[in-house]
Amino acid sequence: MAVMVWQGWKIELPGRWNPVKLEGDWKEGYALLADLHRPRLGIRWSTPKAKAFDAASWARRAMREEVGQLAAAEAAAHPIPGQWQASTLYIEPDPPGRDVWIAFSKTSGRAVQLVHHAHRRERILADALLPAFADVGDQTAMLWAVFELSCTIPAELKLLGQQLNAGDLSLTFSDRNRTVTVRQIAVAALALQRMGIEQWLVQQQGVERKHYRPASAASECEVVAETRRLRGITGRLRRRRRWFWMRSLNQELTTFALHDESRDRLVIVQGSNESVCRDVAASVGWASV
């Protein structure tokens, strides 16, 4: 099983299922997961706007829209202790078809739908996916895990963009005053044969060369995680003078290029706050250690 955490939703997935579409933000969005052969699971969420929101009425209406009037009549309450209200489950009696679960999360005030594309008589949705599905909420620190990249980010920083290429994964987060990019490259042994760690640092800093210039020479550094030590180098960038009028650009950026030897991954973290960057770098890989 593999752990995926995206926009506050945490789920354990079969190892061969991977996201092929990730859209939206914390308030509203959609994730589609598939294996090598077909789509397997869709997750759709939204935040109700009505003050007098009725979770039970919403669940009945959403189920009708998802499976149709006749099939919705066969849906049944599926009580799950804890954070869920109006939990309703429909199992396709004659596969292939779709198994659908709908519920409202008291934790974050969001409505969620899980649609499993079932191709034979199986209860993967009810027996395997739902027991491990959770809303981790909008807390002081948000967990993120997609493919093999996992990290912990301050909750105020919202996802700005992602690049999820095979062997080179990155997530960028920001708020009004701060920004941080987390990048993971696999396999580190091969990546470091291609370029030294100093060159990886320079490459990452080069993305910002239009607006920033090197402020100091790179120096050795170490980031201590709970069970690991990540060693590498760090360097700073300073905003170019001609861009002083762009208040949206931070004055300085700090970049860490680190070798996670125990996981054989190259970890690069770049952001406007050195302390945040250190904490984020120490959290990378939490789902695989």
CATH numbers and ranges of domains, the chain: 2-135 (3.40.1000), 146-288 (3.40.1000)
For position 199, what pLDDT does the model report? Answer: 97
> Which phi and psi (to 5°) does residue 26 adopt?
-65, -35
Helices assigned H by DSSP within the chain: 55-67, 69-72, 124, 188-194, 197-206, 274-283
Instruction: Count CB-CB contacts under 10 A for residue 104.
Output: 23
Q: In what order do the strands lie in the sheet with 84-90?
A: 18-24, 29-34, 39-46, 110-118, 97-105, 84-90, 76-77
For position 221, what pLDDT does the model report? Answer: 96
Residues of the chain with pLDDT under 70: 289
Torsion of CA 277, 282, 283, 284, to 10 degrees: 90
> What span, in angstroms and rounded, lies between the C-alpha atoms of 207 and 220?
21
For position 289, what pLDDT does the model report? Answer: 67
Instruction: Count CB-CB contacts under 10 A for residue 116.
Output: 25
Instruction: Tell me the pTM.
Output: 0.92
For position 263, what pLDDT does the model report? Answer: 94
For position 135, what pLDDT does the model report? Answer: 95
pLDDT tens for each residue of 141-185: 999 999 999 999 999 999 999 999 989 999 999 998 899 999 999
Residue 77: HSE in the Cβ half-sphere, 13 Å Cα cutoff? 9
For position 104, what pLDDT does the model report? Answer: 96
